[in-house]
Amino acid sequence: MGYKVAVVGATGAVGREMLRVLEQRRFPVDELVPLASARSAGQSLEFRGERLTVRALDRQSFTGVKVALFSAGGPISRDYAPTAAGAGAVVIDNTSAFRLDPQVPLVVPEVNAEAARQRPKGIIANPNCSTIQMVVALAPLHREATLRRIVVATYQAVAGAGQRAIEELSQQARAWAAGQPDPAPSVFPHPILFDCVPQIGDFRPDGDTVEERKMIDETRKILGEPTLRVSATTVRVPVMVGHSEAINLEFERPLSVARARELLSTAPGVVLVDDPAQRRYPLARQAAGTDPVYVGRVRLDASVEHGLNLWVVADNLRKGAALNAVQIAEYLAQHGEL
């Protein structure tokens, strides 16, 4: 049995990745409905060898739709996701609009898939890309030794800011190669080429950025630990695709490096790449276009009791967005809930 699936924001970077993931994983789609703004309507996208015309999003877009994947920005999700759910679709939303709503489950299938089965509003939230890859790596360690504190610094690719951000980095690279001045940035607050920008999202009154607060709040909700101590510093770097994270952990109980590697080597969705002597550790370039969360540089932090350090890398468009959403839909289909 197949399903009528709508993708809202189908022409964006994540929307296009959703189409690829649906096709590559052979999700049972009987009819695909690509939706976008009126400005993008009329464009054509390829799915399973066919050209599909993008339709303008409106209130009638969800008739007969069983799964609605949203990735068109928070305001669109807040406006249209309840409409889609009211029409009978299971909404899987990739924006921050509903992530902290207590009536909306925040789901990473490798960590808390069962939460997707309780959705009073008919909406399931996809976490932030940097949060997803972190909790996939940390969940097996948390189950073993109970996390006490997380300190994470992220190195996030420009693709996390959308297609315009990818184009902005490309334009700056072309200008540099031609010996021309940097084009004025429009997506980021400063030129991103050859630099690191320690700001993702607006600054809050407490000094954190919006992105940093997302990592704190979402990690607590997914792991079911509302008082877990989490500190995050999020940085945009001149990488096209693939987020990297340096993570420092403190546990309630001892956890050896050997045991951590053992747990990670068998954890769902994780690939352990950890042979420093051979210069083998996760790289964003190698993660791009692939599904796993890669973990390496597993080592003790002797400065604290029960401390470990990790390096975690994943493709932010796939596991950090499109793949996670499709995996949620797969889980529901397998349990007869679509």
Distance CA 110, CA 295 (A): 15
Secondary structure of the chain: what % helix, strand, coil (to 5)? Answer: 35, 25, 40
Question: Active site residue: 129, 142, 196, 306, which one?
Answer: 129
243 among known catalytic residues: yes
* Block residue for tokens 């994983």: 25
Length, in residues, of the chain:
338
Distance CA 275, CA 58 (A): 52
Distance CA 277, CA 282 (A): 14
Give yes or no for a contact between 124 and 105, defined as CB atoms under 8 angstroms apart.
Answer: yes
Q: What is the SS3 assignment for 320?
A: helix
129 among known catalytic residues: yes
Long-range CB contacts for residues 190-196, cutoff 8 Å, separation at least 24: 192/158, 192/165, 192/168, 192/236, 192/237, 192/238, 193/169, 193/238, 194/238, 195/238, 196/155, 196/235, 196/236, 196/237, 196/238
Give the ranges where the chain is alpha helix by DSSP (H). 13-24, 74-86, 109-112, 129-145, 163-177, 210-223, 257-266, 284-287, 323-334
Q: What is the SS3 assignment for 48?
A: coil
Nearest to 250 by CA among 109, 119, 147, 100: 147
Nearest to 231 by CA among 209, 251, 253, 252: 209
* Block residue for tokens 């051979």: 278
Give yes or no for a contact between 159 and 317, defined as CB atoms under 8 angstroms apart.
Answer: yes
Half-sphere exposure of 50 (CA within 13 A, CB side): 9
Give yes or no for a contact between 301 and 320, defined as CB atoms under 8 angstroms apart.
Answer: no
Which residues does the annotation mark as catalytic?
A: 129, 243
